[in-house]
Amino acid sequence: MPESGARLQLRELVANELAAPLSEPVTAFAAELRRRHGDAVMAVLFYGSCLRKQTTEGVLDFYVIVDDYRSGYESRALALANAVLPPNVFFCEWLRGDEPLRAKYAVLSARDFRRAASPRSIDCRVWARFSQPAALAFVRDEDARREVAEVATSSCLTFTGRAWAARSGEEASRPFTAEALVREGFRETYRAELRTERDDTIQQIFEAQPNRYREMTTLALRTLADRGEFTLKETPEGFEAHAPKGRRRRARLAWQARRPLAKALAIASLLKTAFTFGDWVPYVVWKVERHTAVKIELTERQRRHPLVFAWPVVFRLLREGIYR
């Protein structure tokens, strides 16, 4: 089926974002990640709050896309872990001159990257992240650039479709704005990922680039309507998207069924990350305090031996709904 005009416009939007210039410290860090994973690296994507705020303070966020896991690691165990439960997540500190830089990065194969952006994916991490702006800190060639742009486009469509599917009851038939749909999408994906973003943080993400999110949402809704997912009416107040009750019910039930599976994957990934991340407990505590204002005190024993003694802290956060 030929691509619709709206989808072509959406891909152009994300391709332009991916091509945005980045600061020298960010590209230098990307070069360090390439050194770690060798010639298998086809792209290094920079995303998250540091990109949004145009800063290198805090922890930089990257995705490293490799041809395949075996060629991306010297360790067969890490390659196997990445293949069984992608992605592997690492914490990296790098001293650039006198400036310490810190980053969290995930490793995915090109094949898993494509799959994770699909609406069939249970795991929402990739399509939730790359529905937001991202930039290429490194790309190997034009084929890789086109591949990443295609995945980012798919992520925007999956995010928008899932956000629409999450609307239920009387709300489902009411008009909505791009802002309301984006906020609903982020709330749903954060819940599925056990993340701790508050409503005001979600609002800040939207308000950082409101015109961009409005354009992305409009183009994604038009593309989904062109595919027959729903009929779309655009009004001065926003949008109306209608589908037969059976289709809407199936879409909503499919998303509801994926939620517990997505949470189970998130918990499994959290357990695996304990072995790949490094000094992960202080990082988790920092994230929780930053996003919830909840103060968490670790004992010296928990800091020194996190794999043995820090799990009660993690499970308490899950039980109390702080990390949900």
Three-class SS of residue 277? Answer: coil
The ranges assigned to domains in the chain are 5-265, 279-319
Q: What is the DSSP letter of 205?
A: H
Separation between Cα atoms, residue 232 and residue 217, nearest integer Å: 12
> What is residue 135's predicted lDDT score, i.e. its pLDDT?
98
Average confidence (pLDDT) over 218-244? 92
> From the CB of residue 117, how many other CB atoms can be counted at a distance below 10 Å?
24
pLDDT digits (tens, 9 = 90+) for 270-315: 677 766 765 556 566 655 665 555 666 666 665 555 555 555 666 6
CA 272 to chain centre: 18
pLDDT at residue 324 tops 50: no
> What is residue 312's predicted lDDT score, i.e. its pLDDT?
65
Separation between Cα atoms, residue 235 and residue 149, nearest integer Å: 30
What's at 125, amino acid-wise?
R
Contacts for 15 with CB less than 8 Å, ≥ 6 apart: 145, 149, 152
Q: What is the DSSP letter of 131?
A: T
What is the value of pTM for the model shown? 0.83
> What is residue 51's predicted lDDT score, i.e. its pLDDT?
96
Average confidence (pLDDT) over 233-257? 81
> What is residue 322's predicted lDDT score, i.e. its pLDDT?
45
The DSSP bridge pattern shows strands 88-96 and 99-109 to be antiparallel
More confident residue, 219 or 283: 219
pLDDT digits (tens, 9 = 90+) for 41-92: 999 999 999 999 999 988 899 999 999 999 999 999 999 999 999 999 888 8
Q: Yes or no: is domain 5-265 CATH 3.30.460.10?
A: yes
Separation between Cα atoms, residue 171 and residue 252, nearest integer Å: 13
> What is residue 97's predicted lDDT score, i.e. its pLDDT?
74
pLDDT at residue 249 tops 80: no
